[in-house]
Amino acid sequence: MGSSSVSSHSLLASTVVEGQVKTAALPLIAVISALLFGIQPSWTWIFLAPLLAWMSIFLYGISLMVAGFTAMYPSFRRIVGAINRVIFYSSGIFWAVDKVLEPFPALLVIANLNPVYQFIEIFRFLLYADIGGVLQILPHNVACSGIVVLIGALIFKLGSRRTS
């Protein structure tokens, strides 16, 4: 049986891009909602598209990790959904992390380390033209995202070696 001419990295990248295209309406809905709630457009909104592109790179790293772990441990796919829900619901998309965790400073520090929460906060700061907030989170998010991509590439490589 012949091998595919499509690399596994390309397949993962296309999966991430497909996912981003499918959810592209969400940022548009957020911008329209902001306008409807009286938030005036700002020059910072031009950074929303690059933020989404950066998030795609982060998601590519996550995809590499999941694919690598799944190759090494086939039962890993059974817990991916649970992990995804924990990260999603702890991201602050439905609740104000800083207000809820204010009485628990250690938990607040941990919550602030969640890169998904960081992306949401950067998006919010850009909508409200709060460059100070963006600059406060951005270095940590860039570092986290870079580390995720590097670790993801390593795990993916290890998983590929195991299956070949």
146 has a pLDDT exceeding 50: yes
Ranges of each domain in the chain: 8-163
Share of the chain above pLDDT 70, in %: 94
User: Phi, psi (5° rounding) for residue 24?
Assistant: -60, -25
Mean pLDDT of the chain: 86
Burial of residue 131 (CB within 10 Å: 0-12, 13-18, 19+) is: middle
Handedness of CA 137, 139, 144, 146 (dihedral sign): positive
pLDDT, greater one: 92 or 144: 144
If one counts every other C-beta atom within 10 angstroms of the C-beta of residue 89, the result is 11
Question: How far is Cα 152 from Cα 13, in angstroms, rounded to an integer?
Answer: 13
Which of these, 67, 46, 59, 75, lies nearest to 134 by C-alpha position? Answer: 46
Least confident residue range of 17-21, 25-29, 33-37: 17-21
pLDDT of residue 91: 80
30 has a pLDDT exceeding 90: no
Model confidence pLDDT, tens digit, residues 70-124: 989 989 988 988 988 888 887 877 788 888 899 999 988 888 888 989 999 999 9
Single-letter code of the amino acid located at 72: M
Least confident residue range of 11-15, 64-68, 146-150: 11-15
